[in-house]
Structures are given as structure tokens and as C-alpha cells.
Structure 1
Amino acid sequence: MLLPDLEIFRTSLTCPVAAAALRERLLRGLPDGARVSFDLDDCDRVLRVHTPGRPLDVARVVATLRESGYLCEPLPD
């Protein structure tokens, strides 16, 4: 499912090292100029993915984290 160019996800990540590795993995599959950030201090351990001017494949982001053993779901607006 393709959505607008910014999406915020709830995750189960707690480790900054794992977050950094997943950030790099996500960026490899996103268009040039994409930005990925984690806020592990937030109660939802937020993942923000921004693909300026391009739609975002939410299912692909969710699958990438789930394949690595983490919960990942879009936060409602």
C-alpha cells in the first residue's frame, strides 16, 4: 500500500544499535533523499520515514522490521 511521503510507526525497538542497523537497511530500499529516524525515548518507540515527493510503501517498511523480529505498525493520524 502506497501512502503519502511521511509516515510514523510504533515499534518495539529498544536498542540504539539495532535501530541504527535497521535505519541503514531501510534507507537501502528507499528512494534517494529519504530520511529515517527512530525516537526510542518515546513511549511508542517511534520510527519516522520521510520520502520527499514520493509515496511510501508502508507494507515494505513494516515487513522489514518484522523480518528482523520487531513490532512495527503505522500510528493513526
Structure 2
Amino acid sequence: MVEVFKTNIAKVGQSKLLVKKLLQHFPSSYINFDLDDCDNVLRVEGDNICPEKIITLVTEHGYQCEALA
């Protein structure tokens, strides 16, 4: 399963911190950011991914996050 999200994370340091936090909840997933994309895309690939949980975790750290269709 692959989930893609639009975020307002623009800096590499921010993205690395969020990847670490997300991997704590989804340890067997592949998670990365495309900060060159206009939507600063967060991509999460793995089994048992919960988009709502990802959005909650990102927004709890003060960033915007919404699922892309």
C-alpha cells in the first residue's frame, strides 16, 4: 500500500525529524519526502498504513498534512 500526502514541510532537517517520528509508528514502512515537488510530498509505503494516524502525527508537530488522491 502507498499513501501520498501534501505537506508544508520545506526543509531537509524538518523532513528527517518527521521520518524518524513516523518510523517509530510504522517501523516496516518506507517513508520519504520530495521537497522539490510543489506539494512537498510525503510518501509512505508499507503494510497496515493508517492515513489518519500519519496526518495526526505530522500535524501534532505543527505542520500541515493532507492526503492526495
**Which bin holds the TM-score, normalised by the shorter protein?**
over 0.9
Is the helix fraction higher in 1 or 2?
2
1:24 maps onto 2:17 in alignment: no
Rounded to whole Å, the distance in 2 between the matches of 1:66 and 1:73 is: 9
Larger Rg over CA atoms: 1
Which of 33, 40, 45 is the matching residue for 2:35? 40
Residues 24-67 of structure 1, C-alpha deviations (whole Å, 9 max, x = no match): 110110042x100000110000000001xx23111110001100
What is the aligned counterpart of 2:44 among 46, 49, 54? 49
User: Structure 1 stretches of 5 or more lacking a match?
Assistant: none
Identity %: 35
What secondary structure is seen at the aligned counterpart in 2 of 1:24? helix
Give secondary structure in 2 for the equivalent of 1:27: helix
Aligned Cα RMSD in Å?
A: 0.9
Structure 2 unaligned residues grouped into runs of 5+: none
Residue 65 (str. 1) matches residue 58 (str. 2): yes
Aligned residue pair count: 69
Deviation beyond 4 Å, 4+ runs, structure 1: none
TM-score normalized by the length of structure 1: 0.85
